[in-house]
């Protein structure tokens, strides 16, 4: 590389007319007077000094370029077999080091920074992650979106179906008891109660036990009393003694009654109810018992 000597041009503006310089101040050839006044001094810089400074900077630049090229060539040299094995072993050991509970979070962050160049997150029906590694390799990952809080707390469909089936034969409290015996829990991890079952039943528009029995043709207490032409108290007595079949429809113990059929019970004046006779005989035998003390 040929080195060109910089050309220097100097504009010398005399402060005295030409030919009127004193003998001791006549300017020399290739000399410029730099009127740099610093602490009252005047410095004279020759063209040779400027050229020397220029050449020095060129040598420093050339040396820096050579060092850069040498370092670049060293970095681009193919790794030998031993170095390749070490790098492969480090890559295989990465999962163990990452999952080690003794590895602090700050070290995991450093490991990520050493491996990844950037990560692009795209949010759609699912989350898409476009990962670019330091070496230039890329990888695309997909992950389902996290559920919102209401969706997380939503009761599963199979559990709602189970509650719907149990309501055919049980009240809200009885359904809750059966669910707890099966080891089931609510979406929040709590045990079931009658109030919780009732809330789920209303939320998911399930038919109540009362509605199901009414659709099956069962009668209320008032309807049964009117059908048999007796008092409501009589209906309850007949229910307690098994003359009428009743089904509890809520947690208060209220019942609906099956239709009496072709041979309904009836009250007959002058005749004693056999059930009442058996109850009276039991009380009479109880009074005839004798207590014996040794």
**pLDDT tens track for 231-280:** 999 999 999 988 899 999 999 989 999 998 888 888 765 455 555 544 44
- pLDDT at residue number 233: 92
Q: What is the pLDDT of residue 265?
A: 86
* pLDDT given at position 276: 52
Of all residues in the chain, what percent carry a pLDDT higher than 90? 32
pLDDT confidence bin for 291, thresholds 50/70/90: very low
Give the model's pLDDT for residue 96.
Answer: 83
Please determine, for residue 7, whether its predicted confidence score (pLDDT) is greater than 50.
no
Residue 152 has a pLDDT of 76
Nearest-angstrom CA–CA distance, 246 and 230: 16
Specify which residues 69 forms β-bridges with. Answer: none
CA neighbours within 13 Å on the CB side: how many for 165? 8
Q: Who contacts 117 (Cβ-Cβ below 8 Å, separation ≥6)?
A: 132, 133, 134
Residue 91: is its pLDDT beyond 50? yes
| Contact between residue 61 and residue 46 where contact means Cβ atoms under 8 Å apart | no
| Overall average pLDDT of the 182-186 stretch | 90
> What pLDDT sits at residue 99?
85
Contacts of 239 (CB under 8 A, 6+ apart): 245, 246, 255, 257
Position 87 scores a pLDDT of 66
Residue 8 has pLDDT above 70, yes or no: no
Instruction: Provide the residue ranges of all domains of the chain, joining segments of one domain with +.
Output: 155-206, 217-283
Domain with residues 217-283, CATH architecture: Orthogonal Bundle (1.10)
pLDDT-derived band of residue 35, with 50, 70 and 90 as boundaries?
A: very low
């Amino acid at each position: 590389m040929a080195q060109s000597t910089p050309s220097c041009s100097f504009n010398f503006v005399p402060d005295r007319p030409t030919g009127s310089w004193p003998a001791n101040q006549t300017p020399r050839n290739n000399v410029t007077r730099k009127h740099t006044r610093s602490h009252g001094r005047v410095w004279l810089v020759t063209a040779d000094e400027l050229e020397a400074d220029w050449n020095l900077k060129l040598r420093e630049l050339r040396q820096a370029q050579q060092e850069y090229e040498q370092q670049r060539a060293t970095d681009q040299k193919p790794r030998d077999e031993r170095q390749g094995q070490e790098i492969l072993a480090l890559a295989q050991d990465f999962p163990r080091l990452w999952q080690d509970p003794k590895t602090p979070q700050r070290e995991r962050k450093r490991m990520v920074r050493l491996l990844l160049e950037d990560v692009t997150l795209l949010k759609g029906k699912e989350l898409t992650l476009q990962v670019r590694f330091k070496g230039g390799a890329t990888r695309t990952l997909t992950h389902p979106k996290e559920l919102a809080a209401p969706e997380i707390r939503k009761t599963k469909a199979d559990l709602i179906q189970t509650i719907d089936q149990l309501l055919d034969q049980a009240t809200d409290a009885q359904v809750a008891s059966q669910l707890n015996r099966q080891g089931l829990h609510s979406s929040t991890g709590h045990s079931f109660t009658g109030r919780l079952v009732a809330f789920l039943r209303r939320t998911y528009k399930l038919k109540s036990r009362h509605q199901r029995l009414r659709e099956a043709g069962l009668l209320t207490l008032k309807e049964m009393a009117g059908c048999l032409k007796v008092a409501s108290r009589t209906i309850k007595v007949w229910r307690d003694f098994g003359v009428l079949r009743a089904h509890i429809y809520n947690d208060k113990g209220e019942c609906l009654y099956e239709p009496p059929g072709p041979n309904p019970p009836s009250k007959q004046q002058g005749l004693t109810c056999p059930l009442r006779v058996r109850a009276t005989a039991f009380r009479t035998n109880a009074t005839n018992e004798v207590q014996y003390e040794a």
